[in-house]
Amino acid sequence: HRLFFALWPDAPARAALVRLAHEIAHHGHGKAPREDNLHVTLAFLGAVAADRLGALERVGRAAAACIAPFGLSLERIGGTGFGIAWLSSDGVPTSLAELHAALAAGLAREGFPTERRMFRPHLTLARHCARAVHRGAVEPVRWTVERLTLVESTLAPGGSRYRNLVEWPLGATPEPASRPPPPTPRAGV
């Protein structure tokens, strides 16, 4: 399984991102991602054996549980020399930095390799751009991040296909270690 942890935009943010991606791809003579592929990657895992999925579920659940939902704003166009344009943020919200750090710590604890480079959230808007992208500020795209998702990617000639494997709500109270016994049903009630 080719896996990564991701954040998905909500529907209004996705609509704004689709428009922006098409505009940027058009100007750069590149290609916008599939509409339902627009995401922010928090941690890329690469190929993971099926028997390690349980470990990833523990990592994801624990990281998501300790961070409350937070607002994310993306407003800066950037790019690489390899024809990619992305949308990034001017600053990293504290909650996002904490979520990323919690994931990285959990992954390290479970023996997964983690990236050393500093985390900068970004969302790919265009690929295969033949012309340099215009860098700079755009109208911010904002949404409230309420979920962390473990996604499977299948590489395909027309572009990768993604499938959500597990989703965790942010800030969920962890399961108590022991639960009170359920009330005993009484006869006749």
Give me the least distance between CB of 182 and ligand ATP, in Å please.
43
Q: What distance in Å separates the CA atoms of residue 147 and residue 150, rounded to the nearest whole number?
A: 10
Instruction: Tell which positions 71-130 bind ligand ATP, by CB under 6 A.
Output: 124, 127
Interatomic CA distance for residues 16 and 8, integer angstroms = 13
Of the two residues 63 and 126, which places its CB atom closer to ligand ATP in the complex?
126
Q: Is the dihedral of CA 82, 165, 40, 30 positive or negative?
A: positive
Residue 16 and residue 20: Cα distance in Å, rounded? 6
* Span from 71-79, 142-150, 152-160, 173-181 in contact with ligand ATP (CB under 6 A): 152-160
Distance of CA 65 to the CA centre of its chain: 16
Q: Tell which positions 26-55 bind ligand ATP, by CB under 6 A.
A: 41, 44
For residue 80, CA distances in Å to 62, 132, 134 come to: 33, 9, 12
**Looking at 8, 24, 153, 168, which residue binds ligand ATP (CB under 6 A)?**
153
Give how many residues touch ligand ATP by CB under 6 A: 10
Comparison of 155 and 177: residue with beta carbon closer to ligand ATP: 155
Q: Does 2 interact with ligand ATP (rule: CB under 6 A)?
A: yes
Q: What is the DSSP letter of 166?
A: E
Q: Is residue 4 involved in binding ligand ATP (CB under 6 A)?
A: yes
Please tell me whether residue 1 binds ligand ATP under the rule CB under 6 A. Answer: no
Strands (DSSP E) contained in the chain are 2-7, 40-47, 70-79, 85-88, 122-126, 136-145, 147-154, 161-169
Contacts of 167 (CB under 8 A, 6+ apart): 147, 148, 149, 150
Q: Determine if 160 is a binding residue for ligand ATP (CB under 6 A).
A: yes
- Binding to ligand ATP by residue 164, rule CB under 6 A? no
Would you count residue 159 as binding ligand ATP (CB under 6 A)?
A: yes
At closest approach, how far in Å is the CB of 167 from ligand ATP?
17
Known catalytic residues are 39, 122
Residues that bind ligand ATP (CB under 6 A): 2, 4, 41, 44, 124, 127, 153, 155, 159-160
